[in-house]
Amino acid sequence: MPNTRCARAIIFAAPFIVAAGFGARAQDNPAFYRDVETKYIFGFTEGSGIGLEGEREFSLETVARMGKRDGRYWASETKLEYEFTPNQYVQFELGPLVSTHVIKDVTDMDNRNQLAMSGFFGEVRYLILDRGPSSPLAITLSAEPEWHRIDETSGARVKNFGLELKINADLELVKNRLYLGGNLLYEPEATHDPDGIGAGWEKESTGGISGALSYRVLPSMFVGAEIWYLRHYDGAWFNTFTGDAVFLGPTAYFQLSRKVFMTAAWNVQIHGRDVDDPGSTLNLAEFSRQRGKLKLAVEF
Partner 1 sequence: MISTNAKTVFALLLLAASSLPASAQQTATVTISVKNHHFQPAQIQAPAKVPIELHVKNLDPTPMEFESVSLRVEKVVAGNSEGIIRLRPLEPGSYNFFDDFNQQTNGVLVVR
Task: List residues binding partner 1 (CB under 8 A).
Answer: 30-31, 34-37, 50-55, 85, 88-89, 130-135, 258
We find the least distance from the C-beta atom of residue 30 to partner 1, in angstroms, to be 5
What residue type is assigned to position 70 of the chain?
Answer: D
Kindly give, in sequence order, each residue whose CB lies less than 8 Å from that of residue 243, ignoring residues fewer than 6 positions away.
231, 232, 272, 273, 274, 275, 276, 283, 285, 286, 287
We find the least distance from the C-beta atom of residue 130 to partner 1, in angstroms, to be 8
Q: Which residue, 49 or 95, has its beta carbon nearer to partner 1? A: 49
We find the least distance from the C-beta atom of residue 145 to partner 1, in angstroms, to be 25
d(CA 93, CA 125): 9
Q: Which residue, 15 or 54, has its beta carbon nearer to partner 1? A: 54
Q: Are strands 201-218 and 157-174 parallel, antiparallel or unpaired?
A: unpaired
We find the least distance from the C-beta atom of residue 21 to partner 1, in angstroms, to be 23
d(CA 117, CA 115): 7
Q: Which residue, 2 or 133, has its beta carbon nearer to partner 1? A: 133
d(CA 75, CA 148): 14
Nearest to 137 by CA among 95, 98, 179: 179
We find the least distance from the C-beta atom of residue 42 to partner 1, in angstroms, to be 16
Q: Which residue, 113 or 220, has its beta carbon nearer to partner 1? A: 220
Q: Which residue, 49 or 243, has its beta carbon nearer to partner 1? A: 49
